Structure 1
Amino acid sequence: MGRTSNTGVNALWQYRAAAGTATTQRLRLAVLVVAGCGSILHLADWWFRAEHVASLPLFLVLTFIFWWGILRMVVLWISYLRISKPPQKPALPQRRVAIFTTSSPGEPLSMFEKTLAACARITYPHTTYLLDDTRDPRFREVAERNGAVWLELVGLPGAKAGKINAALQRTDEEFILVLDPDHIPFPNFLDEVLGYFEDEKVGFVQVAQAYYNQYRSFTARGAAEQTYGFYGPTQMGMNGLNCAVAIGANCTFRRTALESIGGHGIGLAEDLITAIRMHAAGWKSVYNPIVVSRGLVPEDLGSFCKQQLKWARGVHEVLFAEVPRLWPKLSFWQRLSYLTVGTYYVSGATMLLFLLIPYLFFWAGMQPANMDFVEFVLNWLPVGLFGVLIYLYVQRWLCHPQEERGLHWRGMCLKFACWPVFFLGFVLSLWNGRIPYIPTAKQADGRFTWFAWPLLVHQLLFIGTLLYVVVERAYYTPEARLALSSGDTWGMMAFAGIAYLMTLGGLFAAYQSSKLTAEEPWATVRLPGISCQLAS
């Protein structure tokens, strides 16, 4: 009796200690956010001064692109204050569950062998379905050899989502896990998600994504780094506001929720379409930041850029079509969340304008603002400092803090390198331009991608401009010599130089990608010890 009592007291103390630690962490985060907002107000007080306006139209453009980024950062900070990790719940017993994974022409058969074998090892009773449109009889053999049901779904519109909707018509399980074929699930996958469906209003449960091939290249590591924060504090903050979004892989849906919105959304961002429609229909979402599978991330820059182009075009489709249509049915935080997610790829257009500013100054004499560069840096520095501090502080909520912490500079280099891709996706969305739904490449193609050419042009433009400024202004006219020594000239050159340095990461990724050889990283995964092998 005394032993049981002591156990209960210890558990109570542990609970109180954890709650106290969480409260302290949130309080510290709130202090950082308030201080960060104060630094932004100080910067705004300096920025919006009449003497800083050189050309009103250009100043307005510069102000928009600069403060748009600041606004997005503040929204992210606010969402961090609502970080929520759902308590672990035991899986609902005796529920019928389906796992859908799709195959497309050109995808490697050996990958399906590994994924379907891992699905067979999931401990919760379920039925795995391979939704196949390869016309290759070997895929049926692989499915049946691993206990999966093979469904031939050829020539359906809607790509992956079209096959999912067709499979919904031919199955009747209560819950459906959509699993990308390059993701190898752990045996406990369903045990970690089904308990949340005890709440009848929960429409889908999303878990984190992690990768077993991020060691392969600069691109693979950078692409993985871009996801660390999203699958950690960002999605956890959105979870606390009931606006966590579904991702194309590792998402478990309630069948009745899918049926209530007419099936899985179709489009290049079919997961985001499905999520916003479910939220608009009143369904709840749950995000559980746990890694219960590992998949592939693009290994070469060309494949990464193709993936980003598809997503950029698809996300803009959601922004321009779904958000306005469903706006009245969303909560305030859901509206803000989908606006923030939907405008992520608008950075392609804003980055282009940002990059053009110093060259307009050097080649056309056009200047948007009369701001001393050093003075700008000094006023911006507190904002940047608090941005970094908050970014590092919330890393305690990463899925694997020990291996994922850091400044993630590779991810930042890749994002900068992709501005032409983002811009192309934005332009295509303006006139509803179409691009095909192409599954993300599963192996490196070993070529120098044409997506890197804009980066090379940028390099040449900077070097040419630097030579022009030095030669023309230093050796030709006294006025030019005076201009060369001015703060405006070297401030603009520093401005352009930072962007020039950022392109080096993308070019290195492109060069390294051209040297990669195609491998099958899934071949090294050992299924009997899958959790240990993949988490290392």
Structure 2
Amino acid sequence: MKKTDNPALWQYRAAASSTPVRKMGLAVLVVAGAISMVRLGNWWFRPEHVASWPLFLLLTFVFWWGLVRTLIVWISYLRIAKPQRLPPAGGRRVAIFTTSSPGEPLGMFEKTLAACARIRYPHTTYLLDDTQDPRFRAAAERHGAVWLELVGLPGAKAGKINAALARTDEEFILVLDPDHIPFPNFLDEVLGYFEDARVGFVQVAQAYYNQYRSFTARGAAEQTYGFYGPTQMGMHGLNCAVAIGANCTFRRTALASIGGHGIGLAEDLITAIRIHAAGWKSVYSPVIVSRGLVPEDLGSFCKQQLKWARGVQEVLFAELPRLWPQLSGWQRLSYLTVGTYYVSGLTMLLFLLIPYLFFWFGLLPANMDFLEFLGRWIPVGLLSLSIYLYVQRWMCHPGPETGLHWRGMCLKFACWPVFALGCLLSIWNGEIPYIPTAKRAVKQFTTFARPLLAHQALFFLTLGYVVVRRVYFTPESRLALSSADTWGMVSFAGLAFAMTVGGLYAAYQSTTIRPEDPWVGVDLDTIKT
């Protein structure tokens, strides 16, 4: 299709979600942030700063990899775009696929299937059932859905989707997770974009109705605000928005062109990168047309993150190299950035070890004055915070979703052992089973919190060792105790220690939470608010 064939179909490509003045303000902040990074780099990479080449290179990789990823995200913000809504044409044949697995609660499906029946645009809902429980078939029939029994298929959720594709013929397929309750206007908000024959999938935002039930739920939701707001909108402007496991509508011919839905722990990302490599376009619309569940206890959240960490890096190590020639430059950079998100587990581990290598073994990676470092890092930090707050005007809900999102940061830090494990499993191709995320809270103190406890014990042990050694056994002890290197490392270790508190609180709260069914009492008429 040429641009002149139907100009209305191309409006969404360049439709900005802000005024030029707001975009100009963002550009000024990004340029200032980039200059602050260059200034920091000019100081960092001085020969006299090298104390130990191996440790200096390790520290440099850990520190600068995070800054480079941040800069890439900033640049993508400059292409933030929001598609102009197009009304759907009549007569489209649409299927809604939702899957059930053994152990999942029937009550949740009752709510989701009832909501699917209320979707206004004509469609057929399919329950892809693996439970071998006759109650699920009865629930499907009660709400006007077609029941398909798909038991024991390889590929978990994606395997059932592919089997259902072979048994159906609708031209568009909405993949809806069973813990998401769609609104009646869902299909009205997405089908219009398929008037462009080159659009392979349309992704919308995810939002949650149980995010206020615990510290973990709040933190997990906070981690998604930026992604479903400015991050995905920037990727949309660069035609590299990614598909998510829920709330994504696919064109059947796009799925057929890549041999069906991708299979893996990150089946949505696998599917997205293959569709992009096949030449299809993606659309991201930042509208909230359903609400779902987010993990309420730390253990369930960590299991979800482990699955994603292993799956996302499967894309990094297997799919991205294979499909690299077929992707555009920004699609390559986007999938590289997404695929390396969970590498932060290993980099965080290396970062945490630096002060303890100094205290216990006297190993110092760099001869840098701590106060001089702060003088060059603070502008980077302040501009990073300014950009983070500035782009929040592109959140899906700019009011409720704005803020520092400190709970989300605490959970991300608490998950560094999980991220590291997922990365290591990817390196040696270790397997973990596909486990659906828990749909209700699990009341327990999760074993995933043990590394945080060990970190706290190491901090107190090291602090005691430093004080005793410097005061009683080191000549000129008071001078040594007050040295910039020592206090810099103490501050470094202390900040990391403080970050463990949020994760441990989430683990403790998980032992007191009431494992109720969060969908009970949800009113389909008011869930939108």
TM-score bracket relative to the smaller structure: over 0.9
Structure 2 CA distance for partners of 1:291 and 1:21, relative to 1, 3 Å: closer
Counterpart Cα distance in 1 of 2:115 and 2:482 = 66
The aligned length equals 515
Counterpart Cα distance in 2 of 1:166 and 1:78 = 40
Counterpart Cα distance in 1 of 2:60 and 2:18 = 40
C-alpha contact 1:210 1:293 (8 A) present in aligned 2: yes
Deviations 1:118-146 (A, max 9, x none): 00000000000000000000000000000
Letter in 2 for 1:474: V
**Shift of residue 482 of structure 1?**
3.2
Counterpart Cα distance in 2 of 1:264 and 1:20 = 31
**Shift of residue 514 of structure 1?**
1.0
The corresponding residue for 2:321 is 324
| Structure 1 unmatched ranges of 5 or more | 1-17
**Shift of residue 449 of structure 1?**
0.1
C-alpha contact 1:319 1:342 (8 A) present in aligned 2: yes
**Shift of residue 413 of structure 1?**
0.5
Letter in 2 for 1:301: L
**Shift of residue 477 of structure 1?**
2.6
The corresponding residue for 2:4 is none
Structure 2 CA distance for partners of 1:459 and 1:25, relative to 1, 3 Å: same
SS of 1:54's equivalent in the other structure is: coil
C-alpha contact 2:16 2:82 (8 A) present in aligned 1: no
Among 341, 363, 367, which residue is 1:366 paired with? Answer: 363
Among 141, 144, 148, which residue is 1:147 paired with? Answer: 144
Counterpart Cα distance in 1 of 2:261 and 2:48 = 54
The corresponding residue for 1:465 is 462
Structure 2 CA distance for partners of 1:45 and 1:88, relative to 1, 3 Å: same
Letter in 2 for 1:439: P
User: What is the percent sequence identity of the aligned residues?
Assistant: 78
The corresponding residue for 2:132 is 135
Structure 2 CA distance for partners of 1:522 and 1:78, relative to 1, 3 Å: same
Counterpart Cα distance in 1 of 2:369 and 2:146 = 67
C-alpha contact 1:208 1:231 (8 A) present in aligned 2: yes
Counterpart Cα distance in 1 of 2:329 and 2:251 = 24
Letter in 2 for 1:357: I
**Shift of residue 294 of structure 1?**
0.1
Among 172, 186, 192, which residue is 2:189 paired with? Answer: 192
Counterpart Cα distance in 2 of 1:480 and 1:256 = 73
The corresponding residue for 1:5 is none
Deviations 1:62-102 (A, max 9, x none): 00110000000000000000001000110121010000000
Among 316, 335, 343, which residue is 2:332 paired with? Answer: 335
Structure 2 CA distance for partners of 1:19 and 1:194, relative to 1, 3 Å: closer
C-alpha contact 1:475 1:481 (8 A) present in aligned 2: no
Verify: 1:396 aligned to 2:393, yes or no: yes
Counterpart Cα distance in 2 of 1:161 and 1:498 = 42
**Shift of residue 481 of structure 1?**
3.8
Listed as ranges, the matches of 1:58-137 within 5 Å are 58-137=55-134
Normalising by the residue count of structure 2, what TM-score does the alignment of the two structures yield? 0.96
Listed as ranges, the matches of 1:200-215 within 5 Å are 200-215=197-212
Normalising by the residue count of structure 1, what TM-score does the alignment of the two structures yield? 0.95
**Shift of residue 20 of structure 1?**
11
Deviations 1:301-332 (A, max 9, x none): 00000000000000010000000000000000
Structure 2 CA distance for partners of 1:485 and 1:317, relative to 1, 3 Å: same
Counterpart Cα distance in 2 of 1:33 and 1:426 = 30
Verify: 1:496 aligned to 2:493, yes or no: yes
Structure 2 CA distance for partners of 1:503 and 1:141, relative to 1, 3 Å: same
Counterpart Cα distance in 2 of 1:460 and 1:20 = 48
**Shift of residue 19 of structure 1?**
7.7
Deviations 1:337-380 (A, max 9, x none): 00000000000010000000000000011000111222211110
**Shift of residue 534 of structure 1?**
2.4
Letter in 1 for 2:426: S
Counterpart Cα distance in 2 of 1:189 and 1:523 = 22
Counterpart Cα distance in 2 of 1:92 and 1:287 = 19
Structure 2 CA distance for partners of 1:365 and 1:130, relative to 1, 3 Å: same
Among 475, 479, 502, which residue is 1:478 paired with? Answer: 475
Among 50, 55, 63, which residue is 1:53 paired with? Answer: 50
SS of 1:206's equivalent in the other structure is: strand
Deviations 1:241-265 (A, max 9, x none): 0000000000000000000000000
C-alpha contact 1:309 1:424 (8 A) present in aligned 2: yes
The corresponding residue for 2:6 is none
The corresponding residue for 2:9 is none
Letter in 2 for 1:534: I
Verify: 1:314 aligned to 2:311, yes or no: yes
Letter in 2 for 1:49: R
**Shift of residue 385 of structure 1?**
0.5
Query: Which segment drifts farther, 339-348 or 468-477?
Result: 468-477
Deviations 1:1-32 (A, max 9, x none): xxxxxxxxxxxxxxxxx989611111110011
Counterpart Cα distance in 1 of 2:361 and 2:244 = 45
Counterpart Cα distance in 2 of 1:364 and 1:477 = 15
**Shift of residue 483 of structure 1?**
2.1
The corresponding residue for 2:251 is 254
The corresponding residue for 1:31 is 28
Verify: 1:223 aligned to 2:220, yes or no: yes
C-alpha contact 1:206 1:250 (8 A) present in aligned 2: yes
Counterpart Cα distance in 2 of 1:535 and 1:67 = 41
Structure 2 CA distance for partners of 1:19 and 1:334, relative to 1, 3 Å: closer
CA RMSD of aligned residues (A): 1.0
Letter in 2 for 1:384: G
Query: Which segment drifts farther, 76-85 or 467-476?
Result: 467-476
**Shift of residue 479 of structure 1?**
4.5
Deviations 1:215-238 (A, max 9, x none): 010000000000000000000000
Counterpart Cα distance in 2 of 1:130 and 1:39 = 53
Counterpart Cα distance in 2 of 1:515 and 1:480 = 46
Structure 2 CA distance for partners of 1:518 and 1:20, relative to 1, 3 Å: closer
| Structure 2 unmatched ranges of 5 or more | 1-14
The corresponding residue for 1:534 is 527
C-alpha contact 2:16 2:80 (8 A) present in aligned 1: no
Counterpart Cα distance in 1 of 2:159 and 2:304 = 19
The corresponding residue for 1:414 is 411
**Shift of residue 480 of structure 1?**
4.2
The corresponding residue for 2:234 is 237
